[in-house]
């Protein structure tokens, strides 16, 4: 039986969006993955670290994929539902999850970690990252790149010329250097995404809250209905995410 617009948006509006598990989108949306394999590389670095910090860990799902943690493993998160998920997932592994508001300062002493990681941080405080890294320590992260999924963002919000300038890898690298870090590598890729039904769009925008700030089904019902008709007529809505792999080192 074909699902109606009302059925699709009601289901997507009711499901929990805690954590960074996107399995609800299976069969509904697809996204290409970056060629570098961030989680695999992160796990390899964690296996040889002495003290590591994962900033804005979400529900801890990515960090938990690592087979081995260093003797000291700490993660920070700000959103209470994610804090609960990360605590349940990571505490049995011996990792400490710290509630942190994602603004300076990080609640740790200077030179505390030889490895700091982050996957898709909403904010990047380079001075704080440099402060908590020990000399010779490394920041290894996958950032959201410039104008990521802006085909969808601008469908709802209209042209965003200033916002398109954000997340610029060159500007981020300059900010990292200004904080005293050396850029080891910075690579950006654009990756195809497809949304197969309007429920996938609703779920995505409820979960990735900075895409369309304040998004609700009620507020955008007319635009959602129009997009539903477009998908029904023309097939999946196509957008492109951007991802940047960043490695920076604090000079010894």
- In the chain, domain spans: 5-249
- Max intra-chain CA distance, the chain: 63
DSSP run (H or E) holding 104: none
Q: Residue ranges of the alpha helices (H) in the chain?
A: 5-14, 38-46, 61-64, 80-90, 126-132, 150-157, 169-178, 198-207, 221-234
Distance, CA of 15 to CA of 155 (rounded, Å): 23
Tokens of 220: 């955008």
pTM over 0.85: yes
Cβ atoms within 10 A of the Cβ of 90, count? 24
Give the residue among 103, 96, 53 at the shortest CA–CA distance from 78.
103
Give the list of residues 6+ apart from residue 130 with CB closer than 8 angstroms, or none. 179, 180, 181, 250
Distance, CA of 246 to CA of 181 (rounded, Å): 12
Give the list of residues 6+ apart from residue 185 with CB closer than 8 angstroms, or none. 245, 246, 247
pLDDT tens sequence for the chain (252 residues): 568 999 999 999 999 998 778 999 999 999 999 999 999 999 999 999 999 999 999 999 999 999 999 999 999 999 898 999 999 999 999 999 999 999 999 999 999 999 999 999 999 999 999 999 999 999 999 999 999 999 999 999 999 999 999 999 999 999 999 999 999 999 999 999 999 999 999 999 999 998 999 999 999 999 999 999 999 999 999 999 999 999 999 999
The CATH number of the structural domain formed by 5-249 is: 3.40.50.150
């Amino acid at each position: 039986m074909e699902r109606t617009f009302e059925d699709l948006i009601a289901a997507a509006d009711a499901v929990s969006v805690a954590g960074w598990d996107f399995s609800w989108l299976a069969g509904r949306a697809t996204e290409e993955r970056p060629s570098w394999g961030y989680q695999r590389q992160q796990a390899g670095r964690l296996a040889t670290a002495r003290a590591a910090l994962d900033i804005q860990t979400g529900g801890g799902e990515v960090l938990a994929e690592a087979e081995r943690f260093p003797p000291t493993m700490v993660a920070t998160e700000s959103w209470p539902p994610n804090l609960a998920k990360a605590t349940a997932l990571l505490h049995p592994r011996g990792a400490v999850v710290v509630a942190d508001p994602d603004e300076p300062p990080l609640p740790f002493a200077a030179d505390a970690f030889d490895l700091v990681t982050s996957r898709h941080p909403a904010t990047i405080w380079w001075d704080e990252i440099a402060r908590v890294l020990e000399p010779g320590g490394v920041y290894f992260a996958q950032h959201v790149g410039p104008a990521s999924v802006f085909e969808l963002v601008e469908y709802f919000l209209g042209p965003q010329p200033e916002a398109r300038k954000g997340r610029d890898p060159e500007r981020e690298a300059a900010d990292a250097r200004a904080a005293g870090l050396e850029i080891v590598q910075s690579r950006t890729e654009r990756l195809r995404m497809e949304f197969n039904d309007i429920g996938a769009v609703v779920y995505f925008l409820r979960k990735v809250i900075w895409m369309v700030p304040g998004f609700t089904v009620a507020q955008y019902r007319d635009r959602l209905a129009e997009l539903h008709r477009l998908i029904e007529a023309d097939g999946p809505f196509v957008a492109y995410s951007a991802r940047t792999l960043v490695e920076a080192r604090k000079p010894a």
